Amino acid sequence: MPQSTAPVQPRLPAPVPAAAAQQALPLRLLVVIGTMTMLPALAIDAYLPALPTIAPDLGTTHAGAALSLTSCMAGLAVGQLVAGPLSDRYGRRPPLLVGLLGFVLSSALCALAWSGASLLVFRLLQGLLGSATCVGAAVVRDRARDADAARAFSLLTLITGAGPVLAPVLGAQALRCVPWRGIFVGLAVLGAVSLAVVARWLPETLDRAHRREAGLQATLRAFGRLARMRGFMTYLAAGSLANCAVFAYLAGSAFALQDGYGLSAQQYSSVVGLNALGVVATGSLNAPLVGRFDPRALLLVGLVGSVASGVVVLAAVLLHAPLACVLAGLFGLLVATGLVRPNCGALGLSAQDGAAGSAVALSGFVGWVSGGLTAPLVGAVDGGSAASMATVLLASSAGALLCVVLPGRRARS
């Protein structure tokens, strides 16, 4: 790449001192973080409508093409274990900038894939490098605490929640104009835009005085310290189980609603879109609510709502109730998720001290792994029926509620 003889160094925003940590994040910064963290959702969901055409074009099976989804999710899970600790050592900006640049390049390579195996490799790289966007949550933790953090995470949920809603629609519309490779070109363009925006407007929020050593041993020590923080582990377990409930819905609802209740593909996509909008709507309401109520109380309301919704779904399935009862229960679950995710994330990060990047990485890894294990579990219980989806959904929601309630009762006793 040609360089001028006297390069002009760009003026970067100054690192934010530790005293500024209690200040609420400006809306512009939240939009930058939210847009960036939406990239993994777009990378996963946007190309799903193209899977039937990818398989014959690359000379692989439908199952082989679908493995590219698994490879990307595996990259997202493992990559966070690297990006998070690196951000604690070198600051938030370097891993983000390198990761976004890598996301752009790997997306372009996906568009150039010549076989099913090459697509698997490039999708793995896309997940590994795109996982650096998890550092955005650590930026929030650097600048906000407790209610301010919960409010910030609510706005992030509102922004990032648009990803799963828009991605399949955008992918399907893109296929009307371009072949499937054009979707990955579009992802590369979006990644480049995010890279430019982050480079220009995202400040460094972790000053040098608060950075930690890097390396495998240091990373393992950081994870070990986090494992000994009871408050952090409580919310990590609760958030992961709540995530399992959502993955049970994602893994089982297509078969349950289309095969079991006869919905068409178009009707099912409408249900998914409506439920996703429920998450976004509740997330937007959570932002003003955390200014009036304790985030833990809002989390408990969301978890109780998840359990109640799970009971409705399971009862409706077992009693052969009308489809409307099942849909109401599923909608209730997703609406409750809009309260659970932001408050659980904010409380968990506030409960740890000094290793927000590692905490975000560990949370993301556990979330992706637990979600990935939920899909085969739904299929293993009663052959993947509607009852199996409802059972796993209810059990996960109940487990999340117990994770939060039981430690509090032991502390009071």
312 and 344 within one domain: yes
Residue 156, in any domain of the structure: yes
Measure CA of the first residue to CA of the last residue in the chain; give whole Å: 66
Which pLDDT score is estimated for 22?
41
User: Distances from the Cα of 57 to the Cαs of 42, 67, 119, in angstroms?
Assistant: 22, 15, 12
Which residues, other chains included, contact 313 with Cβ-Cβ below 8 Å and sequence gap of 6+?
Answer: 326, 329, 330, 333, 389, 390, 393, 394
Max CA distance (Å), the chain? 76
Find, among 260, 279, 401, the residue nearest to 393 by Cα.
Answer: 401
Quick check: helix, strand or coil at residue 292?
A: coil
Asked which of 167, 194, 214 is the last residue of a domain, the reply is 214
Let me know whether 43 and 188 are in one domain.
Answer: yes
Same structural domain, 187 and 313: no
- 299 and 197 both lie in a single domain: no
- Is residue 1 in a domain? no
In 3D, which of 110, 118, 136 has the Cα closest to residue 39? 136
Torsion angle, CA of 163/164/168/174, rounded to 10 degrees?
0
Residues 130 and 238 in one domain: no
Domain CATH for 101: 1.20.1250.20
Taking the chain (413 residues) in runs of 10, the rounded mean pLDDT of each run is: 38 40 63 84 78 84 75 85 81 91 96 92 93 83 70 71 67 82 93 92 78 65 78 88 86 76 75 80 79 87 95 94 93 90 82 69 80 74 78 93 79 45
Domain shared by 278 and 207, yes or no: no
pLDDT at 65: 77
| 204 and 111 both lie in a single domain | yes
Chain-wide mean pLDDT for the chain? 80
Note whether 263 and 210 are same-domain residues.
no
Considering the domain architecture, whether residues 123 and 180 belong to the same structural domain is answered as yes
pLDDT score for 146: 63
Same domain, 146 and 261: no
Query: What pLDDT score does 161 carry?
Result: 64
Q: How far apart are CA 114 and CA 112, in angstroms?
A: 6
Q: What is the per-residue pLDDT for 9? A: 36
Say whether both 82 and 180 belong to one domain.
yes
Any domain includes 304: yes
Q: Which residues contact 50 (CB under 8 A, 6 or more apart)?
A: 171, 175, 180, 183
Query: Are 179 and 328 found together in one domain?
Result: no
Residue 219, domain member (yes or no): no
Q: What tokens were used for 384? A: 């993947």
Range of the domain at 408: 226-412
Q: How far apart are CA 150 and CA 347, in angstroms?
A: 8
In angstroms, the CA 392 to CA 245 distance is: 7
pLDDT in tens, 242-273: 988 988 887 677 778 877 888 876 677 678 77
Q: What is the pLDDT of residue 184?
A: 94
Tally the domains of the chain: 2
3-state secondary structure of 91: coil
Q: Is 47 helix (H, G, I), strand (E, B) or coil?
A: coil
SS3 content of the chain, % helix, strand, coil (to 5): 80, 0, 20
63 assigned to some structural domain: yes
Q: Quote the CA–CA distance of 287 and 61 in Å, as a whole number.
A: 45
**Residue 8 belongs to some domain of the structure:** no
Where is the domain boundary, 214, 245, 269?
Answer: 214
